Amino acid sequence: MVMILIINCGSTTLKFRIFDSELKELAGGLVDRLGQLRTKLDYWISKESERRTFASGLPDQAAALNEIFSVLTEAGFDMSDIASVGHRVVHGGEEFIRPTFITREVLRHLHKYSRLAPLHNPANLAGIEAAVELLPEAEQVAVFDTAFYSTLPDYAYLYSLPWEYYSRHGIRKYGFHGISHRYVAEEAARRLHKPFSRVNLITCHLGGGSSVTAIENGRAVDTSMGLTPLQGLTMATRCGDIDPSIPLFMIDTLGLTVEEAHDVLNHKSGLKGLTGHADLREVLVQLGEGIDGFESRRRPTKIERERSQVAVDKLCYDVARYIGSYTALLGRVDAVVFTGGVGENSASIRRRVMARLKLKPKLKMLVVPTNEELMIAREVKTINAVH
């Protein structure tokens, strides 16, 4: 049986799916806490779920893939049946705007984009190198988050900087979460009974990292993230839109190094910066909201509740601000689509966002669970058919 393996690597996680040639899911799972003690492997095969915990941890993506292969082999899968491996790659720049077979030359080019996505691309590339080692005969295919945004017009992706910053250094808006935005947009078009090429949507991927995308006639025309995944909305630990002079102030006046300023903006800001908590569930619980399966460890103080309220208001304001802006640009919006861990699961956040929009008539709202792995598998099947 011919199979397709999909790998989605993060710095401390590895998601995987196995599909047959008709894109039926056969198995899947998640490795969490890579590089830490008590790494967990949660997986399912034929709807039966199990967990394995590695007390001493798994150091990297290669070790995680080895354990995944052991589990699959024990369950009766023949790894030699994997004909293709699809990889999510966050940043492909302007060079990679469609799914691409991975060669040594392609890998060499991909490494240069790690400086633009330092939290993501190195992990993606580590997964590719591990898969090439374990499955040398399989076709390896890279599918890029940035590719969906190759249709942005120049006035949307350019920054108002000296021209050579773009022409020589590639400084421009690239956009991220493109695989997710495209998947939910196609699914929304199906639910709306409209051809994808005729649909206007605003898609909101809300999770630890968050972004909003404007889609006109099936093509992305603007998005909230920029050169890096730092721009745009208030996120779990990322600051989103700020005055560009703030990092300079942090360095020149507060005495931070460049590395320290980078760390603050990427890891100590957003919800974490405003409340001390990166987990939105903790912030909502501090406001008295019940979250199934989640309990706060202690009662919040008055100041903590006030800061949690400000943080939630800020997050929802940011999302509404982008939706409102994109609505004005698109003119006709068939639906606002929510996806991602927060977008799919928090009715409270969706309600707060939509309540901030003073639009008449009110915009139609859809909730569409994302499936990046299936979207990647579709792309792999398509490129193999052409090849």
* 8 A C-beta contact, residue 16 and residue 8: yes
Task: Give the up-direction half-sphere exposure of residue 51: CA atoms within 13 A in the CB hemisphere.
Answer: 6
In a domain, 377, yes or no: no
| Alpha helix segments (H runs only) across the chain | 61-74, 104-111, 121-134, 154-157, 163-167, 178-191, 245-252, 258-267, 270-275, 280-286, 302-330, 340-345, 347-355, 372-386
Total Cβ atoms within 10 A of residue 243: 8
**CATH code of the domain covering residue 321:** 3.30.420.40
Question: What values do phi and psi take at 344, rounded to 5?
Answer: -80, -35
Tokens representing 342 are: 């927060």
Residues 102 and 213 in one domain: no
201/335 same-domain check: yes
Same domain, 139 and 204: no
- In the sheet that holds 25-32, the strands lie side by side as 48-54, 39-45, 25-32, 13-20, 3-9, 82-89, 139-144, 100-101
- Asked if the structure places residue 373 within a domain, the reply is no
* Same domain flag for 201 and 136: no
d(CA 96, CA 353): 34
What's the DSSP call for residue 339?
A: E
Q: Note the Cα 256 to chain centre separation in Å.
A: 29
Residue 334 among the catalytic residues: no
CB 335 within 8 A of CB 192: yes
Residue type, 235: M
Whether 317 is covered by a domain: the verdict is yes
- Do 116 and 228 form a contact (C-beta atoms < 8 A)? yes
* pLDDT confidence of residue 67: 96
For the chain, what is the domain count? 2
Q: How far is CA 250 from CA 8, 74, 118, 186, 362, in A?
A: 34, 53, 21, 42, 41
* Residue 360, pLDDT score: 85
pLDDT score at 387: 67
**Same-domain pairing of 333 and 267:** yes
Q: How far is it, in rounded angstroms, from Cα 220 to Cα 266?
A: 25
Angle (CA) 347-349-350 rounded to 5° is 65
Each residue of 240-282: pLDDT tens digit? 999 999 999 999 999 999 999 999 999 999 999 999 999 999 9
Share of the chain above pLDDT 70, in %: 100
At 116 the pLDDT is 81
Model pLDDT for residues 46-84, shown as the tens digit of each residue: 888 999 999 999 999 999 999 999 999 999 999 999 999
Are both 320 and 221 inside the same structural domain? yes
Domain that holds residue 97: 3-144
Report the pLDDT value the prediction gives residue 42, as an integer from 0 to 100.
95
- Residue 16 CA to residue 246 CA, distance in Å, equals 39
Three-class SS of residue 49?
strand
User: In one letter, which amino acid is 23?
Assistant: L
Q: What pTM did the predictor assign?
A: 0.93
User: Do both 277 and 140 map to the same domain?
Assistant: no
Catalytic site residue from 32, 145, 222, 318 = 145
Q: Count CB atoms within 10 A of the CB of residue 339.
A: 26
The position carrying tokens 């601000």 is 321
The DSSP output letter for 231 is: S
Domain assignment present for 292: yes
Task: Return the pLDDT at 290.
Answer: 85
First to last CA, the chain: 20
Would you write out the chain's pLDDT as a tens digit for each of its 387 residues? 899 999 999 888 999 999 999 999 999 999 998 988 999 999 999 888 999 999 999 999 999 999 999 999 999 999 999 999 999 999 999 999 999 999 999 999 999 888 888 778 999 999 999 999 999 999 999 999 999 999 999 999 999 999 999 999 999 999 999 999 999 999 999 999 999 999 999 999 999 999 999 999 999 999 999 999 999 999 999 999 999 999 999 999 999 999 999 999 999 999 999 999 999 999 999 998 888 877 777 788 999 999 999 999 999 999 999 999 999 999 999 999 999 999 999 999 999 999 999 998 899 999 999 999 999 999 999 998 776
Does residue 203 belong to any structural domain of this protein? yes
Whether 44 is in a domain gets the answer yes
